[in-house]
Amino acid sequence: MSEAGPVVRDRPGERWGGRWNVFNRYANPTRFMQLSAKLVPWFAGATVLLMAAGLYFALFASPPDYQQGESVRIMYVHVPAAWMAMFCYTSMAVASAIGLIWRHPVAEMTAKATAPIGACFTFLALVTGSLWGKPMWGTWWVWDARLTSVLVLFFLYLGYMALENAFDDPARGTRAAGILALVGFVNVPIIKFSVDWWNTLHQPASVVRMGGPTIDSSMLIPLLVMAGAFTCYYFWVVLVRVRGEIIASRIRGLRLRQVHG
């Protein structure tokens, strides 16, 4: 397997025409590096602050559930992790589509950088769901629609990462993985609406629903704070990973010029 990757070169926005200038402004890796350098510290700081506040509210300030007792506190990690698993896959699919259609180098790198983060969130959702399910359902695992579709999502992430690195030509790997990301996106609405379409052990949505949340504010606020922490963490890590990809690409470019120069 070749270790060489695509060499990223700055693309002037004018190439895409006037109407795409805003959209493609950060297709230029230099501009992306400038913007991300400013954003990374903010997302890092927000992650630390929100995570600290969220864990405090979740573990100490929020009340136990009248049915589930103290085990409800697993929810404050499980639910945001499940949300982020779907959000990351959606981001990966959108970035893959942009990369496939417009050959947007930063979009391709964003999709690649998102995959392991999304896989970790999905794994966390599966593990915490199993820990939560044991006292509630009396078993670690059931093959209901929600659990099965989330497990499929985890394998889609693994498949994306495997395809990305399965070819000697990195561009072919990126295209193949991008196609898988787009095809696999059909699983995201299945996860979201599985509790409405089939009989499952999972309860219907209690936060994002028509008519507003049904969950009490004493539990809703910590849940949303933790979701904000996970979201900031995603943007923090994905920006750092894309910056690393750009730097590695530039190093490869310098080495190629030295070899052929």
Give 21's pLDDT tier (boundaries 50, 70, 90): low
Q: State residue 164's pLDDT score.
A: 96
* pLDDT, tens only, 135-169: 888 889 888 889 999 999 999 999 999 999 999 99
**d(Cα 165, Cα 184) in Å, to the nearest integer?**
18
What pLDDT score was predicted for residue 1? Answer: 44
In the chain, what are the domain boundaries?
39-205+215-260
Q: How far apart are CA 152 and CA 144, in angstroms?
A: 12
Q: Is residue 12 predicted with pLDDT exceeding 50? A: no
Burial of 53 (0-12, 13-18, 19+ CB in 10 A): middle
Burial code of 60-84, b = ≥16 C-beta within 10 A, e = fewer? eebeeeeeeeebbbbbbbbbbbbbb
pLDDT averaged over every residue in the chain: 87
Q: Percentage of residues in the chain with pLDDT exceeding 90?
A: 62
CA distance 128 to 125: 5
Sign of CA dihedral 120, 123, 125, 131: negative
